[in-house]
């Protein structure tokens, strides 16, 4: 490895010689007693010294560049860590602190997070975020395990996954009618909302892991709560009517077919049976846990073994539990599609009620029930 100190000494020596030789050449031009041969020799000397100076300077610059790169790498490792998982946590902590302090986020942090764009929408919440959380979020959306989730801008998808050369290939009359009335393509819209994650000064000054965990738990819980709210809204907000399983038509009837019976158990069984076989095969049931336990209690009639049975053994199909599902939703949830449109930009805000600083995430969401005929609502006869 080249010795920088020796190069520096050589460079300084050549620089002194070059300065002296250049001065001498200038004096020779002013001295009428010098001849062209002497001046040419002196010019060659100056040119040789300039070439030596440039060569040594280039080597010095290469050494300085290499030293800077090593120093930057050391600083990056010092700030972000060396372990890949630790780097992600530390990078997110740096991003959060920079945002809360109204400072720019470094390119090193953006690179670690896998997004070095200049739009301001760096991806704090990748699709695998749930797997990166250190603890479970306070609020979860069970639909995430069975519905379709995407993150695409201006998304359009077909309602059915394939077609045949004849237009009457769809065996389910309700599906065929729905496609004829509503069309065979879904266009997702953008409904803006914000999630606020309160962050105290103590948390900001604390460990990276605790800071990232605190913010991501809040953001993950906020997104899950919004997803459940729009999907199971009994009275959806204006512009969000299509997002709810319980959306109603102008005559107050539910857009998704309702199947009734004298008990909830019978209604669920009837709803499953009422589905076309194309949807029944992969159908699941979204319902409240309290309703499920009431069904088990009635069916068990003192038999404790029934309480340990899987919901599929009792209801005939797998069940997910969500307290927002006031009336059980039965169907193929692959046709329940959530889309987050584009990146999720973040900013800083302040809760004027508490004075607490907030890390704020802005998102645009849409929930489309791609085929209403793929679902049924189970309800007890009034």
> Where residue 1 falls among pLDDT bands split at 50, 70, 90?
very low
- Whether the predicted pLDDT of 47 surpasses 70: yes
Range 230-241 average pLDDT: 93
**Per-residue confidence (pLDDT) for residue 93, from 0 to 100:** 84
Which one has a higher pLDDT value, 382 or 309?
309
pLDDT, tens digit (0-9, with 9 covering 90-100), for 100-144: 888 887 777 777 776 544 433 344 444 434 444 444 567 889 999
The more confidently predicted of residues 75 and 5 is 5
pLDDT at 72: 64
As beta bridge partners, residue 380 has 261
Tokens 């953001």 label which residue?
219
- Identify which has the larger pLDDT, 350 or 239: 239
Query: Which residue is associated with the tokens 């508490």?
Result: 354
Establish how many alpha carbons lie within 13 A of residue 261's alpha carbon, considering only the half-sphere containing its beta carbon. Answer: 18
At residue 177 the predicted structure's pLDDT band, cuts being 50, 70 and 90, is low
Per-residue model confidence (pLDDT) at position 127: 40
* pLDDT given for residue 124 in this prediction: 46
Least confident of 135-144, 169-178, 255-264, 281-290: 169-178
Pair 152, 341: CB distance under 8 Å: yes
**339: which 2 tokens?**
């889309």
| Element counts in the chain: helices (H) and strands (E) | 12, 12
Strand partners, 321: 287
The per-residue pLDDT for 178 is: 59
Query: What percent of the chain lies above the pLDDT cut of 90?
Result: 33
Write the DSSP symbol of residue 115: -
What pLDDT is recorded for position 81? 55
**What value does the mean pLDDT of the chain take?**
82
pLDDT of the residue at 379? 96
Residue 324 reports pLDDT greater than 90: yes
Q: Which two tokens stand for residue 216?
A: 């991501």
Nearest to 216 by CA among 303, 323, 131: 131
Cβ pair 70, 92 in contact under 8 A: no
How far is it, in rounded angstroms, from Cα 30 to Cα 209? 73
What pLDDT does residue 136 have? 53
pLDDT in tens, 189-227: 999 999 888 888 888 888 888 888 888 888 888 999 999
Task: Spell out the CATH class of 123-382.
Answer: alpha beta
Task: Give pLDDT tens digits for 328-362.
Answer: 999 999 999 999 987 788 888 877 777 788 888 88
Strands of the 375-380 sheet, one edge to the other: 258-261, 375-380, 329-331, 284-287, 319-321
350: which strand partners? 357
pLDDT of res. 111: 75
DSSP string, 125-145: S-TTHHHH-SS--SS--GGGG
Write down the residue that tokens 């010795």 correspond to. Answer: 3
Q: Cα dist. 292→29, 233, 278, 326 in Å?
A: 105, 20, 26, 12
Say if residue 82's pLDDT is above 80: no
Quick check: 69 pLDDT over 80?
Answer: no
Which pLDDT score, from 0 to 100, does residue 191 have? 93
The Cα 353–Cα 347 span in angstroms is 18
235 sits in which H/E element? none
Rounded to the nearest 10 degrees, how much is the dihedral formed by the CA atoms of 170, 174, 178, 184?
Answer: -20
Sign of CA dihedral 21, 22, 23, 26: positive
Q: Show me where the domains of the chain are located.
A: 4-80, 123-382
Q: Look at residue 172 in the predicted model and tell me its pLDDT.
A: 56
Lowest mean pLDDT of 94-103, 306-315, 324-333, name the range. 94-103
pLDDT number for residue 91 = 81
Residue, of 258 and 371, whose pLDDT is higher: 258
- CA separation for the pair 367, 232 (Å, rounded): 11
Helix residue ranges per DSSP H, the chain: 4-30, 36-80, 84-100, 107-112, 129-132, 173-182, 201-205, 208-231, 264-274, 277-280, 289-300, 311-315
With beta carbons less than 8 A apart as the criterion, state whether 150 and 364 touch: no
The Cα 62–Cα 2 span in angstroms is 10
CA 268 to the chain's CA centroid: 35
């Amino acid at each position: 490895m080249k010795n920088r100190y020796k190069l520096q000494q050589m460079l300084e020596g050549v620089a002194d010689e070059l300065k002296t030789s250049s001065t001498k050449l200038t004096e020779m031009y002013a001295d009428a007693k010098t001849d062209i041969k002497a001046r040419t020799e002196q010019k060659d000397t100056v040119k040789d010294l300039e070439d030596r100076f440039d060569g040594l300077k280039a080597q010095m610059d290469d050494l300085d560049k290499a030293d800077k790169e090593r120093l930057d790498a050391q600083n990056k490792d010092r700030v972000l860590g060396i372990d890949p998982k630790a780097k992600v946590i530390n990078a997110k902590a740096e991003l959060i602190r920079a945002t809360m302090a109204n400072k720019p986020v470094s390119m090193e942090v953006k690179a670690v997070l896998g997004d070095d764009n200049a739009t301001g929408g760096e991806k704090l919440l990748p699709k695998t975020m749930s797997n990166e959380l250190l603890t479970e979020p306070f609020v979860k959306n069970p639909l995430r395990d069975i519905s379709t989730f995407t993150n695409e801008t201006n998304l359009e998808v077909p309602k059915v996954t394939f077609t045949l050369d004849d237009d009457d290939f769809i065996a389910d009359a309700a599906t065929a009618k729905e496609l004829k009335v509503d069309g065979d393509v879904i266009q997702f819209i953008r409904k803006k909302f914000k999630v606020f994650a309160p962050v105290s000064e103590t948390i900001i000054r604390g460990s990276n892991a605790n800071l990232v965990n605190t913010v991501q738990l809040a953001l993950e819980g906020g997104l899950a709560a919004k997803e459940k709210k729009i999907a199971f809204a009994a009275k959806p907000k204006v512009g969000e009517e299509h997002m709810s399983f319980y959306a109603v038509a102008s005559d107050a009837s539910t857009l998704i077919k309702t199947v009734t019976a004298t008990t909830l158990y019978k209604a669920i069984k009837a709803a499953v049976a009422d589905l076309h076989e194309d949807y029944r095969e992969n159908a699941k049931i979204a319902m409240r846990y309290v309703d499920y336990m009431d069904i088990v209690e009635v069916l068990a009639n003192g038999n404790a073994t029934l309480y340990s049975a899987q919901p599929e053994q009792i209801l005939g199909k797998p069940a997910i539990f969500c307290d927002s599902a006031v009336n059980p939703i039965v169907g193929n949830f692959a046709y329940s599609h959530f889309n987050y449109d584009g990146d999720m930009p973040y900013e800083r805000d302040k809760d004027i009620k508490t004075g607490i600083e907030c890390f704020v995430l802005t998102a645009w969401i849409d929930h489309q029930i791609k085929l209403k005929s793929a679902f049924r609502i189970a309800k007890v006869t009034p």
